[in-house]
Amino acid sequence: MRCPGFVSLPGDSFPGMLKKNSILSFILLLTIALFAQVKGQKSINPGPEKAHPAVDRKALADYAKLYVGTPYRKSGMDPEKGFDCSGYVKFVFSHFGIILPRSSGDYKTFGKALKPEEFKVGDVLVLYGYKDQKHIGHVGIICEANGMKSRFIHASSGKAMSVTISDLGSKGYKKRFYKCIDVIKQK
């Protein structure tokens, strides 16, 4: 019996051929599987310098709103268990193929700050922590753009203890504002 792709010697049986070529067969199957996995991967964004013009900002905000009410959970990135602020932002954007930092502190030097009149739905708000204005401690996603009166969706460890929508213009958040960045499309 002759099997395409296998070299056989005169008198070899099919099981004998498979045994002799099992390593080659394994390597071939592994190569095919790895190629299929790499080919099927979505493009990722290692930073805001890469544009993702195909991402619909409204669709992103609508997707983010699906998780309103999900409990706050320190270090959480799982909608079944809960989110912290940066875990939530990372989770939402990864659904659209955009990879963002895992820690809110990493946003301090990430991206270019926008002017309030440039804020758009889907931009990321970067805020100081509630204790001081030295450390970045919170991030959220603009879901209604209106400069410093924008509304944003975020995983709050405050009163709501869940994913909620808040006003950037409120006293508590306005004083904590650090910057807003566009991670979808840079100019």
For 99-138, write each residue's pLDDT tens digit.
999 999 999 999 999 999 999 999 999 999 988 888 999 9
pLDDT computed for residue 16 by the predictor: 55
Residue 124's CB: how many other CB atoms inside 10 A?
27
pLDDT for residue 34 is more than 80: no
The span from the CA of 27 to the CA of 30, in Å, is 5
CATH superfamily of domain region 57-181: endopeptidase domain like (from Nostoc punctiforme) (3.90.1720.10)
The span from the CA of 81 to the CA of 116, in Å, is 34
Helices (H), the chain: 14-20, 22-39, 57-65, 85-94, 171-174
Between 1 and 62, the higher pLDDT residue: 62
**Average pLDDT across the chain, whole number:** 82
pLDDT for residue 76 is more than 60: yes
The span from the CA of 108 to the CA of 101, in Å, is 11
| Section 42-58 average pLDDT | 60
Q: What are phi and psi of 87, to 5 degrees?
A: -65, -40
Q: Where are the domains positioned within the chain?
A: 1-41, 57-181
pLDDT computed for residue 122 by the predictor: 97
Residue 170's CB: how many other CB atoms inside 10 A?
12
| DSSP symbols for 21-72 | THHHHHHHHHHHHHHHHHHTPPP--SSTTS--TTS-HHHHHHHHHTTTTPBB
